[in-house]
Amino acid sequence: MLQADFVIVGSGSAGAAMAYRLSEDGKHSVIVIEYGGTDFGPFIQMPAALSYPMNMRRYDWGYKTEPEPHLGGRVLATPRGKVIGGSSSINGMVYVRGHAHDFDHWADQGANGWSYADVLPYFKRMENSDGGEAGWRGTSGPLHVQRGPRKNPLYKAFVEAGRQAGFETTKDYNGSKQEGFGPMEQTIHQGRRWSVANAYLRPALRRKNVRVVNGFARKIVIENGRATGVEIENRRGVETVRANREVIIAASTVNSPKLLMLSGIGPAAHLREHGIDVIADRPGVGQNLQDHMELYIQQESLQPITLYSKLNLFSKALIGAEWLFFKTGLGATNHFEAAAFLRSAAGVDYPDIQYHFIPVAIRYDGKSAAEAHGFQAHVGPMRSKSRGNVALRSSDPWETPAIRFNYMSHPDDWADFRHCIRLTREIFGQQAFDLYRGREISPGAHIQSDEQLDGFIRDHAESAYHPCGTCRMGRADDPHAVVDPECRVIGVDGLRVADSSIFPRVTNGNLNAPSIMVGEKASDHILGIQPLAPSNQEPWINPRWRESDR
């Protein structure tokens, strides 16, 4: 019989961290249920190959949105990891904690005990930071974080252009000062993708009290108001994995609400519509879906120094061979090595725009590289007011859920994006780029008016793949909260959710780091131990924030 003290659904960012922490003292047994297969192989482990696993059905659930009404009915990809390590095995390996004020906002929204002072000690506990700001970063955790080598002169030009435009620079956006231009951080270690599979799950599996069970989670088994196990389907058929203490769902912003609803926890009318018996009427399940969107602003390079010359098969073979044998060279980085976090206007107190900079003009999915040497900035607003939802299509667990982000449904989103495009042009127009700047590839210099920019946004805005919020954390008496501040599902005993779905609001930047932090902190709540003592460190806030955007 399959049973353990704790049964975790999902081996991704939060799930793997919990498997590691819940089994650490040797007193508790842990089973991790994962439907996906192994993460061995160069497509996942080689950082530069990041565009491949995200587009491989072997590693990705292959979810897509419903036609998005404000993007001309476009259907957008919503990749989620279907592999050991979850989405940390297919993501872009960019490490961003989020801004201090993001977590203070969580606490204001009813996630008591999740302010920046409360979560900073967990970020430190999980990190092994190479070159981060002393006193603000962890140096002995399982998760290795590094900066890229930044050998290409375009990285330096990007940071210098930001300074010339009057913006701040920062040596460590994950330290005291997020705002400004500076080096980007990566979850890469010794030339390999440092996913949670490598950082947390493999070390945990060396213990006798942890095992991974391969299976597709169909529903949570609930008896007399208490979660007692998980019904899974695998080669042997349908069986139940029993939980002696608790079931913890860490299955992603798409699959966690889906699993709750299939188990009778969610909006009562929606469940009844699909013939599912209502165990707990939680109207917030599947609601509050959020994401970041981004655009690629591409510029031709006058000098042949970009990665364009490495896109041919011969160069790729050489890069692959060097990586395979030595774990060095251009294969050992994700090429996101310079970044910026900026404020969009006077009166905005902390950054709400993010930049990733890369010395090639290419799409995230690796397709349609510009036919020339070029460079690009990925830019997008961080705090969209648009909200969507995840809903069931039927009571069949194998049917993919309906995902509606409702992208760009708030008028402010359009103004924010237009500002992002014009701001990027201003940065690329600085003296630091004079030696390199050719024509604008995308959107193209002829796209200038609000109407033209809106058309470009409608046709080209992409997801940054940061979905969150569908099982929102809040006060136990909040009818729209799904979990309380200890990640317990409200209305059901012995059941928790701990992953990016519990974020009350999307954080500033990429979501891998805060998702792992959720797993780290939830572990202490699950074990009933005193959370780490709050920090008294004060983050830097621009003294000119009321007067200027820079």
The string of pLDDT tens digits covering residues 269-298 is 999 999 999 999 999 999 999 999 999 999
Domain boundary among 435, 460, 485: 460
**CB contact at 8 A, 308 and 372:** yes
Q: Is 33 annotated as a binding residue?
A: yes
Does residue 4 share a domain with residue 93?
A: yes
Determine the pLDDT at residue 89: 98
**In a domain? residue 431:** yes
Q: Is 34 annotated as a binding residue?
A: yes
Which amino acid, residue 234? Answer: N
CA–CA gap between residue 481 and residue 474 (Å, rounded): 5
Q: Is 8 annotated as a binding residue?
A: yes
In the 8-state DSSP scheme, what is residue 431?
Answer: G
Here the CATH number for the domain that contains residue 403 is 3.50.50.60
Q: Is 399 annotated as a binding residue?
A: no
**In a domain? residue 447:** yes
CA–CA gap between residue 405 and residue 391 (Å, rounded): 11
The SS3 call for residue 363 is: coil
**What angle do the packed helices 411-428 and 153-164 form, to 10 degrees?**
110
CA–CA gap between residue 116 and residue 93 (Å, rounded): 23
Stretches in the chain below the pLDDT threshold 70? 364-369
Range of the domain at 84: 1-123+189-290+386-407+467-531
Q: Is 27 annotated as a binding residue?
A: yes
Q: Is 25 annotated as a binding residue?
A: yes
CA–CA gap between residue 172 and residue 77 (Å, rounded): 31
Does residue 207 share a domain with residue 162?
A: no
Residue 70 is a catalytic residue: no
Determine the pLDDT at residue 369: 67
Between vectors from CA 297 to CA 188 and to CA 515, what angle results, nearest 5°? 35
Does residue 200 share a domain with residue 55?
A: yes
| Among 546, 542, 549, 544, CA closest to 426 | 549
Instruction: Note the helical H segments in 70-175.
Output: 100-108, 116-126, 153-164
Mean pLDDT of the chain: 97
**In a domain? residue 451:** yes
Choose the catalytic residue: 292, 335, 373, 466: 466
**In a domain? residue 440:** yes
CA end-to-end span of the chain: 61
Does residue 233 share a domain with residue 333?
A: no
**CB contact at 8 A, 295 and 425:** no
**CB contact at 8 A, 477 and 464:** no
Helix, strand, coil % in the chain, rounded to nearest 5: 30, 25, 45
Does residue 114 share a domain with residue 159?
A: no
Does residue 177 share a domain with residue 60?
A: no
Which amino acid, residue 311? Answer: L
Does residue 434 share a domain with residue 317?
A: yes
Determine the pLDDT at residue 334: 96
**In a domain? residue 546:** no
Determine the pLDDT at residue 371: 80
Does residue 153 share a domain with residue 15?
A: no
**In a domain? residue 308:** yes
**In a domain? residue 105:** yes
Residues 6+ apart with CB under 8 A from 434: none
Q: Is 361 annotated as a binding residue?
A: no
Does residue 414 share a domain with residue 344?
A: yes
Largest CA distance in the chain: 71
Does residue 213 share a domain with residue 166?
A: no
**In a domain? residue 540:** no
Bond preceding residue 443 cis, omega within 30 of 0 = yes
Here the CATH number for the domain that contains residue 157 is 3.30.410.40
Determine the pLDDT at residue 368: 60
Does residue 260 share a domain with residue 300?
A: no
What is the tally of structural domains in the chain?
A: 2
Does residue 19 share a domain with residue 166?
A: no
Q: Is 16 annotated as a binding residue?
A: yes
